Structure 1
Amino acid sequence: MNEPPSDDPGQQPRRWYDADAGPLVRPYAMTGGRTAPGAGGVRLDLIALVALAVPGGPEPAEESLLGPEHLALLALCHEESQSVAELAAGSNLPVGVVRVLVGDLVAASHVVVSRPVPPAQLPDDKILREVINGLRAL
């Protein structure tokens, strides 16, 4: 293990991390050195919604081909759709890593990615109030 030198030459070298930190895996090791998702043009920004493509998730034989980080993301999507930001928080992984891993899952047809409705496409409050008033008039 490489340890940083201490500030005082007479002291023991300091450790970068302690035993309680658990295994230390660099993000590039989880993604195989990739930094961009290979999801075939799917935008994976923070609000993109990720859902299981097949209810219940992939078959056990397919699961055995996935890494632990992929399985953790699938487990988070098991109950309901999750945004990329929610997946990053729930899995305790950096957003960039989650984007790459979700891209892998999209390419393997384990998940689908959708976009929430943009606010510009939602009905105006004035129109909704007119509809409510019209229904009350009936």
Structure 2
Amino acid sequence: MTDETTGVPREQGIQWYDSEAGPLVRPYAMTGGRTKPGPTGIRFDLIALVTLSASASGADDDRALGPEHRALIELCRPETQSVAELAAGADLPVGVVRVLLGDLLERGHATVSRPVPPAQLPDERILREVIEGLRAL
């Protein structure tokens, strides 16, 4: 095979990798053109925590999972990771990671715990009063 622009012979498969840009696979190709995580419409916050479920050990035999899915599973094996950490560790856009996590969630390979909304957290003033009350005992 030769490069059409330069006429220089190129190796088979080299056209899918650019030494400066990395792999030339577009994000929509990794997600099959999907932009939302699954039919449930789950939205993953950047700080949502992803943990592998017990069925994740069977993920190696799941032929529907691609290499990106498997990379996310491997990143979660040692410890729970946030969506942002997974995106950084897998070197993938956050939108792609959200779609892939939706697939893993649907197949039962992962669980997601969402952070507590700030409105539901106790007021700092109340916590300080509790601490002062405990110290007074």
- Check the 8 A contact 1:39/1:104 in 2, yes or no: no
SS at match of 2:56: coil
- Amino acid across the alignment from 2:86: L
Distance 1:74 1:103 in 2: 13
When residues 109 and 129 of structure 1 are mapped into structure 2, their CA distance, relative to the original with a 3 A threshold, is same
**Are residues 1:83 and 2:82 paired?**
yes
Stretches of structure 1 that go unaligned for 5 or more consecutive residues are 6-11
Q: With structure 1 as the length reference, what TM-score do the two structures score?
A: 0.75
Residue matched to 2:44:
44
Runs of 4+ in 1 over 3 A off after TM superposition: 17-23
Question: Match of 1:59?
Answer: 57
Query: In structure 1, what is the equivalent of residue 116 of structure 2?
Result: 117
Structure 2 residue aligned with 1:8: none
Distance in 1 between the 2:20 and 2:132 partners? Answer: 62
> Which residue pairs with 1:9 in the alignment?
none
> Aligned-pair distance for 1:129?
1.4
Percent of aligned positions with the same letter in both sequences? 67
Size of the alignment, in residue pairs?
Answer: 128
Structure 2: gaps of 5 or more residues: 8-14
| Superposition pairs of residues 1-138 of structure 1, within 5 angstroms | 12=6, 18-19=18-19, 21-38=21-38, 40-54=40-54, 58-60=56-58, 62-65=59-62, 66-138=65-137
Given that residues 52 and 112 in structure 1 are in contact (C-alpha distance below 8 angstroms), is that contact kept between their aligned partners in structure 2?
A: yes
Contact 1:38-1:107 at 8 Å conserved across structures: yes
SS of 2:50 mapped into structure 1? strand
Residue 23 of structure 1, CA deviation: 3.6
CA contact (8 A) 2:18 2:24 kept: no
Partner amino acid, structure 1, of 2:36: A
CA contact (8 A) 1:42 1:113 kept: no
Displacement of 1:99 after TM fit? 1.0
Contact 1:39-1:106 at 8 Å conserved across structures? no
RMSD of aligned residue pairs (Cα, Å): 2.9
Q: Normalized against structure 2, the TM-score is what?
A: 0.76
Q: Which amino acid is 1:64 matched to?
A: D
Post-superposition offset of 1:86:
1.5
